[in-house]
Amino acid sequence: MRVAVAGFALAVLVLPAGAVPAGAAAVSVDAAGADLVSLSIADGALSLRIRGAAQVTRQSVGHDPADVTLGPDGGVAVRVPQNTAFAFLGSPGTSIWSLTPGDSGLPMLDTSGVRRGLVRGDAVTLSLTAAEGPGNFTAYTLSSLGAPRPLLGAAAREIALPAATRTPVVWAFDAAGDYRLTLAASATLSTGRTVTTEATYRINVPPIQPGPAAPLPHPAAVGKTPTPLPARAMAAPNAAAAAPTATSSPSPATDANAAAARSAATAARRVISDGHVDMGPQLSGDDWTIRVRDDTASPPVWRELPDVVLHVEDNAKTAVPAGADFLGTPGETIWLLPQAQQAGIVWPGWNTQHESVVTGTRGNVTWTLAGVDGPGRFTLFLTGSFGNANVLFDSAKNLPQRLPIPPNTHAHGNWAFSKPGLYRLAVQMSATTTAGKTVTDSKTLTIAVGDNINPNSGFGGGSSTGGDGKPGNGDSGSTGRLPRTGESWVIPVSAGALLLVLVGALLRIAARRRRPAAAPAGPTA
């Protein structure tokens, strides 16, 4: 059955078990970190493709979905949790199969190839007309605080995807079998001309044999060593790119060739309040340096941390929901940079994809949060496909805290701040080179939170010492204060020195008062 909705269609047709449409190429794509729907506009035409994680990293055009098979591998069988927010998936305990690898590396709906200002309303429309098959198909996303929102399925027939963004998505099925999905997209160019496209997907859902019911949202215990993120987890290209191109991550040679052209830009101080940025290391010989890749510039620029301040404006304010005690008391206001990109809010991630890191190191890169200087609590956490929270860093717990990251990883999480003000995060990244040498660098990442905070006051806050008190390898800029480690505070050096002087003076005065009076001097000869 086909039902037209706003002139576009998404049809779900049932095929006999194991059937493969004639003429379809046998291309298998792992959904982990993939762009399931990648939309771009080039030369006035709208295209819809699917890109595996490696293609996302290279910003490749990707495949025609008709040539791709999704499943039966790469998904996970689970049960609908005891949470009324997920009732659109069925009653609690219902078996479903999710086209995701788990709580990290979620696939994406990608409109990074549709730059802002190119289409009216800065949005591309997708529609659903029918969902017929051995079971129900539902696509949904989650907010940063774990609340699900149906996108396509029985509960929603049409969605508008914001331009130049990437939205994590879960595709869920409640019965095994072969599905064929035809997706259509539409947008109106700024000139007034409407462009459309469609593509056909094929998904093979295996027999659904779930384990225990999925847990309710809960914070992970901090203080344990977090599970390493999968390589290329939630990989994201330049969100401002007009269209995907077959380019790769910057190599040392590329950086050298472009150094002259970018020298002025990299030296300039930059306040970033919107768009995509990543923090990550680079290796040059034995010089290991943490930098920020700024994708708000075109082409992207690697900047020094002391030259960057991230500004979290008041449009990122939200309330702590019930059950999220790792963020504060329910109802309290926090400032939240979400795991999924949102227009008008800076979208920071972490990145070990620089060619020098991929080819020049072995094993994981260790990211350490050594200290937090700020007016409130800082928390970095991931939101899983059923809303469960995996807390990576929490300044209310004992520091330092460490996160192992495989090379060639690109990930995003939720950055939460409990109060407005200036935060300085003492970050350290270390690795082992292929020659067996340990390299470490420490920097200070500065974040201004709130509209009433002048972000320019945050420049110059670099750290020149590693977690062991020794200088880092890279150019760390000026020394920054790192007074807060969990709930304890360390007096800054300058204030401590003054305090010692005052204490010493008071002790000397007290000693004089306790000293007995001296005998009068005798007559001199």
List pLDDT tens digits, range 121-130.
Answer: 999 998 877 6
Q: Is 85 left (phi over 0), alpha (psi -120 to 50) or beta?
A: alpha
Q: Who wins on pLDDT, 490 or 38?
A: 38
The model scores a pTM over 0.85: no
Residue 492 has pLDDT above 70, yes or no: no
**Whether pLDDT at 311 is above 50:** yes
In DSSP notation, 43-69 reads TTEEEEEEE-HHHHHHT---B-GGGEE
Distance, in Å, from the CA atom of 296 to the CA atom of 186, rounded to the nearest integer, reads 26
pLDDT above 70 covers a percentage of the chain that reads 69
Q: Distance between CA 309 and CA 362 in Å, rounded? A: 31
User: Which segments within 285-360 are labelled E, that is strand?
Assistant: 287-294, 301-304, 308-312, 317-319, 333-337, 346-351
| 513 Cβ contact list (under 8 Å, min separation 6) | none
DSSP state letter for 491: -
Q: Stretch 98-113: mean pLDDT, rounded?
A: 79
Distance of CA 6 to the CA centre of its chain: 33
> Which of residues 38 and 231 earns the better pLDDT score?
38
Predicted pLDDT of residue 318: 94
pLDDT at 104: 58
- What's the rounded Cα separation, in Å, for the pair 484 and 27? 51
φ, ψ (nearest 5 deg) of residue 508: -65, -40
* Model confidence band, residue 296 (pLDDT cutoffs 50, 70, 90): confident
The CA R_g of the chain, rounded to the nearest whole Å, is: 27
C-alpha to C-alpha distance for 385 and 29, rounded to whole angstroms? 20
Whether the predicted pLDDT of 3 surpasses 80:
no
Residue 265, CA distances (Å) to 262, 296, 307, 335, 350 in order: 5, 12, 10, 29, 21
Decide if pLDDT at 13 tops 50: no
Residues 253-276 have a mean pLDDT of 62
- At residue 287 the predicted structure's pLDDT band, cuts being 50, 70 and 90, is very high
Strand-pair partners of 148? 142
Would you state the pLDDT for residue 21? 46
What pLDDT, on the 0 to 100 scale, is given for residue 375?
97
How high is the pLDDT of residue 245?
A: 32
Q: What is the mean pLDDT of the chain?
A: 75
Q: Do 166 and 236 meet the contact criterion of CB atoms below 8 Å apart? A: yes
Q: Tokens at residue 133, please?
A: 């098959």
Cβ contact 305:111 at 8 Å? no
Q: 114-118, 441-445, 494-498 — which one is most confidently predicted on average? A: 441-445
The values of phi and psi at residue 490, to 5°, are -115, 130
The pLDDT of residue 44: 93
Residue scoring higher pLDDT (61 or 124): 124
Determine the average pLDDT of the residues in 309-317. 97
Q: Rounded mean pLDDT of 315-343?
A: 90
- Tens digits of residue pLDDT in 199-247: 888 999 999 987 655 443 333 333 344 444 444 443 333 333 333 333 3
Residue 482 binned pLDDT confidence (cut-offs 50, 70, 90): very low
Is the pLDDT at 407 greater than 80? The verdict is yes
Looking at per-residue pLDDT, the higher value among 384 and 60 belongs to: 60
